[in-house]
Amino acid sequence: MLIETTGYSFSTFVLGCGLVAFSFSSYLPLSLGLMLVVGFGIIVCMASCNTIMQTIVDEDKRGRVMSFYAIAFIGMAPFGSLIGGSIAHKIGAPFTIVLCGILSIAGAVLFYTRLSEIRKFVRPIYVRMGIIQEMPTELQ
């Protein structure tokens, strides 16, 4: 669990930094390398989110929850693209990409600061499912 949640915040931070750097790049090889970084951030973030969602949801509800998750994650993307396009029309594409990068970094930092609170809710689920073992009280 520690790896998944930390991986999520780290990958989102890397994604944001890659977007900010990409927005200032005008050299094609550098831009392509930065898109590799952004792609890495997106893939690791998606894999982490998917793994966490599928492990904390009870088996009898997993299909329903994952369908809502898919709607939220994939189905809302066109609306985000519409908003991003509208902002880019007003302030320009590079500044829109900077804004998206900054929002990604802010989201990663916010998630990381709330990680201990999230673990309090998720840890008992992981213990119940046998994914992790209960920590002895003398080590807590």
pLDDT in tens, 46-58: 888 888 888 888 8
Per residue in 101-129, pLDDT (tens digit) is 999 999 999 989 998 888 888 888 888 87
**What is the torsional sign of CA 103, 104, 108, 109?**
negative
- Residue 59: pLDDT band with limits 50, 70, 90: confident
- Residue 5: pLDDT band with limits 50, 70, 90: low
What is residue 75's predicted lDDT score, i.e. its pLDDT?
86
* CA-only gyration radius of the chain, Å: 18
Q: Taking the domains of the chain in order of start, what are their residue ranges?
A: 2-128
More reliable by pLDDT, 130 or 79:
79
